[in-house]
Amino acid sequence: MPFAPVVGVDNYGKTVLFGAALLKDEKEDTFRWLFRAFLRSTGGLHPETIITDQDVAMRNAIRAVMLHSTHRFCNWHIQRKMKQKLVTFFAARGTLHAELRSLIRNSFTPEEFESGWHALLEKHDAQDETHLKRLFEIRDEWVPAYYMDKFFPFTSSTGRSESTNSLFKGYVLRKDSIATFFNQYQIVQEKKHSDLDRLREKSELREQRYWSYDPMEREAAKIYTPPIYAKFVEEMKKTTAYRVEVVAAAGETRTFLVTRRGKYQDAEFSKRIYTVSISPDDVYRCSCSKFSRDGMHCCHVLAVARHIGLSSLPESFINPRWTVAAGHVLAMMTDGNVGQNGQRTHLTVRHSIVMSQVSDALSNECTDDRSYDLFVEGIGEAINKVRLDKRLRQEQQLSGGKRRCIDDPQQLNVDARQEGDGDLHIPTQVHQNIVSTIGASSMGGVEVHQTFGLRDPPLSRTKGFKLGDRPKTMYEKASDKLKKQKAARKCSKCRLPGHKKPQCPQNNPAT
């Protein structure tokens, strides 16, 4: 039975297994059933983007069911098949294959790709090749230039799905029953959850090391998850290879020309010149469109930010998907319909920035017991005030009456006591944990909390030794090995090796 895993990406950039299906065949009707079942499990929430292999039945099913999703074919598979089918054709035309690969990778717009494609085929006299004609006809389904403004984070292939297939091959055999498959599926999911918990624990307990003294880097380290922060640092390193020139500084939109001064390893594109613009509402855009594709700004934008002296990350720089706060407000981002996603995205960005400010205050200002107690007391008063204001606004909506003022501390304390919320008062003992509400789902009534202060120590993942045992040294192991070796058999009469008692020389003294 065909195995169809459905995977995604979490805020750590790791693969998430949403589900899997065992299909009776690979026909269009079967794929339609699969996608409808997936939408039922998500409450009708469509994925933003989908990558599959070059399967016509799957493409038609996605077009019929996933009406709000952007679908593309796997770029890697198409280029591999192109090389396999045209290996002799390319060998007779020199650098055609290398030039086509460079064109596919470095084209930023459909017009740039199409003009470059025609020019290359005319240069190498390849206009009549049938397979290349077919690929050009479906160019808008696989060429990256047609998806520069779509969110396909750090990939243009089905590599995550292939790795999931490989993972299941280590747990499930072809001869296994369906019941065994379900049991192994649960084991795989538990393994992935365990890996994610271990990654979160490691990121919380590790000591952060910075590459530079740039304030933007230090702020990014507090907002982004460690794997995404590592990618951010790589982009910052690449800024040292670029020179920034101002093209248009007057007017509503500022424009900069970013030129590469030298080559460096792992360059995403081979172009030398990029254009970066800054809109009046402080939104940065680059001609390479990395933020739209990966949810992270490129080295070209960061070079401009450094050039103009930017010292903190604007809200437009932060994609909520890659933040630490995304894990805490996941319920808000996944609950409800698609129309509310914009508001939740904005809230997630604000939560990330506030958490960064709170972390700075705890590290820099709360250096003694008195400062710590004042900080705790302020958090408690803020929570009381926010909750009371929320309750008053709800009463106002129900009664239509005039809203009461909540600036009076006495009225604040009286109303809080009348509600009976004893947990709103946070004691000011020095070594107590502080629990602050950072978000609540308006749909499901789910509150998400974060604990500041002491945490449980990490559990050891080693099994240890039994009581009284200890690891043996290399010399002890060698000695035990020698003792276990079978000793040469000796004669029971003379006690010498090499013979037995019937052949012993002492049996016949005359000889």
In DSSP notation, 394-416 reads HHHHHH--PPPP---HHHHHHHH
The model's pTM is 0.63
Residue 276 has a pLDDT of: 94
The bridge status of strand 15-22 relative to strand 3-9 is antiparallel
What token pair was written down for 212?
């530079």
Number of H helices, E strands in the chain: 19, 10
Give 423's DSSP letter: G
Cα-to-chain-centroid distance, residue 474:
43
Provide the Cα torsion 414, 397, 343, 421; round to 10°: 20
Q: What residue has token string 């982009």?
A: 235
Write out the E strands in 26-131: 49-52, 70-73
The letter for the amino acid at 458 is P
User: Cα separation of 352 and 218, whole Å?
Assistant: 14
pLDDT of residue 382: 86
DSSP string spanning 131-149? Answer: HHHHHHHTGGGT-GGGGTT
DSSP-derived 3-state class of residue 275:
strand
Terminal Cα-to-Cα distance of the chain (whole angstroms): 82
Report pLDDT for 337. Answer: 40
Interatomic CA distance for residues 333 and 323, integer angstroms = 13
Closest alpha carbon to 256 in 312, 216, 308, 317: 308
C-beta separation of 330 from 444 below 8 A = no
Burial letters for 183-208: b for 16+ Cβ neighbours within 10 Å, e otherwise? Answer: ebbeebeeebeeebeebeeeeeeeee
Q: What is the pLDDT of residue 470?
A: 61
Tens-level pLDDT at each residue, the chain (511 residues): 788 889 998 888 888 888 888 888 899 999 999 999 999 988 888 999 999 988 899 999 999 999 999 999 999 999 999 999 999 999 998 899 999 999 999 999 999 999 999 999 999 999 989 999 999 999 999 999 999 999 999 888 888 888 888 888 888 887 888 888 888 888 888 888 888 878 777 777 767 788 888 889 988 888 888 889 999 999 999 999 999 999 887 678 889 999 999 888 888 898 999 999 998 888 899 999 999 999 999 999 999 999 998 888 888 888 888 888 776 655 444 444 434 444 444 555 566 567 666 766 776 777 787 888 888 888 888 888 888 888 888 777 776 555 444 444 444 444 444 444 444 343 333 333 333 333 333 333 333 334 444 555 555 555 554 544 566 777 677 777 777 666 677 888 888 887 888 888 888 655 4
Domain residue spans of the chain: 3-184, 215-318, 334-452
pLDDT of residue 212: 87
Confidence at residue 439, expressed as pLDDT on a 0 to 100 scale: 35
Cα distance between residue 275 and residue 300, in whole Å: 8
- 221: Cβ–Cβ under 8 A, 6 or more apart, which residues? 208, 210, 229
Tokens of 480: 């035990």
- The pLDDT, as a whole number, for residue 406 is 45
Largest CA distance in the chain: 131
